[in-house]
Structure 1
Amino acid sequence: MQPPDASGYGRPIEEQEAEDLLRCICFKNGPPRTVGVELEWLIHDQRNPRHPVAADRLTAAHDRVRSLALNSALTFEPGGQLELSSPPAGSLMECVDSVAADLHTVRNTLRRAGLTLTGLGLDPWHTPRRVLRDPRYDAMEAYLDRTGPSGRAMMCTSASIQVCLDSGEEEPGPLGHGRRWQLAHLLGAVLTAAFANSPAREGRWTGWRSTRQAIWAELDAIRPVSPPLHREPRAAWASHVLDAPVMCVREEAVPWHRPTALSFRDWIRTGVHRPPTRKDLDYHLTTLFPPVRPRGHLELRMIDAQSGPDGWVVPLAVVTALFDDPEAAETVYRTVKPLAEYAGTQPAPTNPLWLNAARLGLADPELRATAVSCFNTALEALPRIGASTAVCDAVAAFHERYVLRGRCPADDLRIPSVRPAAGVCGKEPGR
């Protein structure tokens, strides 16, 4: 069946063309020059965060925030979570200052409505409730429901910090794209553990430091995982994307068509329903959720949202220093490389390294030792990339409070009205 306005979908795409596009558009090579961050926040009632915010009240708050003049792109997630995506910045401090100004404006607006932004990786009290109605989210919900309740929890109750960095140079070396790809997947487990901040779900402690990451790993067997790391990144990613199942076929009519067990490669070859186009490939990319997603840059998606007004600055600063300072990048790669044996042959985030990072945080001795070395390296590199004294002090304070003690933010959380989960011996994680 052809769509009513076929011109809106473009010409059909060929298989080799799709592979070439995936290699080029997802790994744009060049010296690292820019950094960005995407901050997701839960929105709670300021006085009683355990009380669900009525949908009409949340929608009205969204409308107020949409009217603001912001440097960052503003979007809202299916459960009403707020997301700010910074423009590419030429330095760490340019990114920090721009986003901090936007957050100040947004917080003041929400405060006047009696609402507040909450920095936790997962809502600790509320069951998933979808506020936004859109064909995309209808299709996503239906697809993820096939494998259980984790999809709705991810869509409606999770929040993260996503750091975006240039893919890297074509040539091998500490800033080469192959090295950065490997580094992201090994350091990613350390970041999951160090910044784990979601130990509760729907009113119960779960036994995981990062329940958000545990939920992502449960979505299905393909969408949340990375391609094999032993292969060349561009070839591995192209195969992974084309062999991943199609979540939905966009069309004028709603609901959108929801195929079963149809890979994008098979869609190209069969043209079932209608032939896919470049726009369909671009959309298909947005329905894959690995912890490191190449989108012309590297999007690191494994960090829980952080508590406090400026908690988000620490992971942004640490990641930028370790990836974009050449000396630090070389040092940290040697530091995390032994974790490859810990990870085994399974992909992230479903291998033993990543699962223990989400469950144990820095209580895992190997992750703790690696995190200490990584933070020390970041602290040495931050002045070299122009970090302010305030940013350096914030990273140092986090290092002393958590990393050196083998703890993470989840270990310090005191959440009212959260009950023990079965099998956790009546104790909160980390106690």
Structure 2
Amino acid sequence: MSDSTSGCTAPRTAISEAEVEALVRGICFKTGPPRRLGVEVEWLIHELRAPQLPVTPERLEAAYAALRTVPLRSALTVEPGGQLELSSPPAASLMECIGTVSADLDAVRKALAQDDLGLVGIGHEPWHPPRRFLREPRYDAMETCLDRTGPAGRAMMCASASVQVCLDAGHEEPGPLGLGRRWRLAHQLGAVLVAAFANSPLAGSEPTGWLSTRQLLWMQIGAGRAGAPPPDTDPREAWARHVLDAPVMCVRRDGGPWDVPEGLTFREWTRSRAPRPPTREDLDYHVTTLFPPVRPRGHLELRMIDAQPGEDGWIVPLAVTSALFDDPEAAETAYRVVKPLAERALSLPAPHNPLWLDAARNGLADPELHEAAVACFAAALEALPRLGATTEVTDAVRAYRDRYVIPGRCPADDLLDRLRGTHRRAHGKDIRT
């Protein structure tokens, strides 16, 4: 969602179907030893003292103008509904990534507090209807395109927030850290991550019936835009085919609104060359308009985790995911633990299969997902010291496991408890945390 393209520049060279396939295979999976890690953290912005009051566009504009003067190592971008996103630079270790983003978030919070604004970690706006903040050709075209499948697109654009973990694609050779294994693990473990970190049960101040309403929105957008290719085939082949057969969101123009074709796949565009021949720039842009739960961008971008409560809540999914992918022993354990879950997917791509639906609806109340999450957190806790994690980080993961994973709960359950007035006072936190 944070990708942007300002428009078209001439001259351009048309690209063929065969060139598209070769380019996608070459640029979307860059293999080698897993050495780097990144995270993208999205936040809703609310009134600091009264989070249920909407922030006016004028106040958001002023706040972002002030934030652009704050020196940050992470890239700061604005989502269509005014959500804030920080994207870390690639880090050489888990602790380097945590240190960079933590420092940047401290600076962002300090600047926002001067305007009586704060960051809220919830996967879907619980109180207010979706509202566009950015008015740009990209988002105008996106809104037109997504409106064809119903209201889920606008809610995704303007009312959702996530923690996205970015991992190296892995070795070319087979093994626990090999590309094929990591690709399959990402899609099978993804449902466990959805369930364990579900944190978006409300819309319009009412329960939606789903613990991760954000994940429900992605499913409702449709498989062409937000679905994954089959994970049990060669990653390069599957992704290249998916990119070619996915619908084109828009055809960019230098002036005026962008064209929003209906039912035109990129493969068909390369063949018909209408309304104009597609270019390499169009291909690069097209890939940014696809939102599968695991998106290859040279590295693997895991997009299925809801934004988390608390100032440092994002650290737990980052640490757990990093441990389960980058520690060979933990990766082998995780792969073995989640492999039986694939039977429930019925060979359907994520997130449009029964396993992911159950994860989003029921969280860790699902017995098989609960068992897998307990085992995965145990493996992560053993691996984190080997990855150089501090005691503070390991303790945070352990506390999350004890509070949520072992009892079969997730942060969404806390939000529902507060709504029903049954949340235990012992936690001493309100919905803003």
TM-score range normalised by the length of the shorter chain:
over 0.9
Per the TM alignment, residue 254 of structure 1 is displaced from its structure 2 partner at its CA by 1.8
Q: What residue in structure 1 maps to residue 4 of structure 2?
A: none
Q: Deviations over 1:42-85 (max 9, x none)?
A: 00001111111111011100111111100000100000000000
Instruction: Give 2:170's aligned residue.
Output: 168
SS in 1 for 2:258: coil
**C-alpha contact (below 8 Å) 2:201/2:416 kept by paired residues:** no
The 5 A counterparts of 1:185-200 are 185-200=187-202
2:157 maps to 1:155: yes
Name the CA shift for 1:291/1:9 in 2 (closer, same or farther; >3 Å).
farther
Alignment of 1:355-370 (within 5 A): 355-370=357-372
User: What pairs with 1:6-21 in structure 2 (closer than 5 Å)?
Assistant: 8=10, 10-21=12-23
Shift of 1:417: 7.2
Counterparts of residues 7-406 of structure 1 (less than 5 Å):
8=10, 10-406=12-408
Query: How large is the Cα RMSD of the aligned pairs?
Result: 1.4
Deviations, residues 380-404 of structure 1 (Å, cap 9, x unaligned): 0000000011000000000000000
Distance in 2 separating the partners of 1:21 and 1:196? 35
2:410 is aligned, of 405, 408, 415, to 408
**Aligned 8 A contact 1:200 1:418 in 2:** no
**Alpha-carbon deviation of 1:273?**
1.3
Q: Which runs of 5+ in 1 are unaligned?
A: 420-431
How much has 1:8 moved relative to structure 2?
Answer: 2.6
- Provide TM-score, normalisation by structure 2: 0.94
Q: What is the CA-CA distance between 1:222 and the residue it aligns to?
A: 1.1
Shift of 1:241: 0.4
Q: Deviations over 1:318-367 (max 9, x none)?
A: 00001001111111111110011011111100101000000000000000
TM-score normalized with structure 1 length = 0.94
Partner Cα separation in structure 2 for residue 385 and residue 25 of structure 1: 28
Superposed CA deviations along residues 144-203 of structure 1, whole A, max 9, x for unmatched, are: 000100000000000000000000110000000000000000000000000000000122
Taking structure 1 as reference, are residues 392 and 251 closer, same or farther at Cα in structure 2, changes over 3 Å only? same
SS in 1 for 2:227: coil
Return closer, same or farther for 1:6/1:167 CA change in 2, 3 Å cut-off: closer
SS at match of 1:137: helix
The question of whether the paired residues in 2 share the 8 Å contact of 1:128 and 1:152 is answered with yes
The DSSP-based 3-state class of the residue aligned with 1:303 is strand
CA distance in 1, matches of 2:322, 2:142: 32
Q: 1:323 is aligned with what amino acid? A: F
- Cα offsets for 1:22-48 (capped at 9, x unmatched): 011101111100000000000000111
Please give the alpha-carbon distance, in whole angstroms, between the structure 2 residues aligned to 1:59 and 1:217: 31
Q: Which residue does the alignment assign to 2:424? A: none
Q: Residues of 1 paired with 2:314 and 2:225: CA distance? A: 26
Letter of the structure 2 residue corresponding to residue 175 of structure 1: L
| Helix, strand or coil at the partner of 2:223 | coil
* Distance apart, 1:220 and its partner CA: 2.0
Which deviations, in whole Å up to 9, do the C-alpha atoms of 1:113-138 show, x marking residues without a partner? Answer: 00010000000000010010000000
Q: Is the 8 A contact 2:74 2:86 kept in 1?
A: yes
Are 1:9 and 1:277, in contact at CA under 8 Å, matched by a contact in 2?
no
Label 1:93 to 1:143 Cα distance change in 2 as closer, same or farther (>3 A). same
Instruction: Please state how far the C-alpha of 1:140 moved relative to its aligned partner.
Output: 0.1
What secondary structure does 2:165 align onto? strand
The amino acid across from 2:318 in the alignment is L
Cα offset for 1:230? 2.5
The verdict on how the C-alpha distance between 1:6 and 1:352 changes in structure 2, with shifts beyond 3 A counting, is: closer
Distance 1:356 1:78 in 2: 29
C-alpha distance in 2 between matches for 1:251 and 1:132: 19
Identity percentage of aligned residues? 65
Count residues with an aligned counterpart: 415
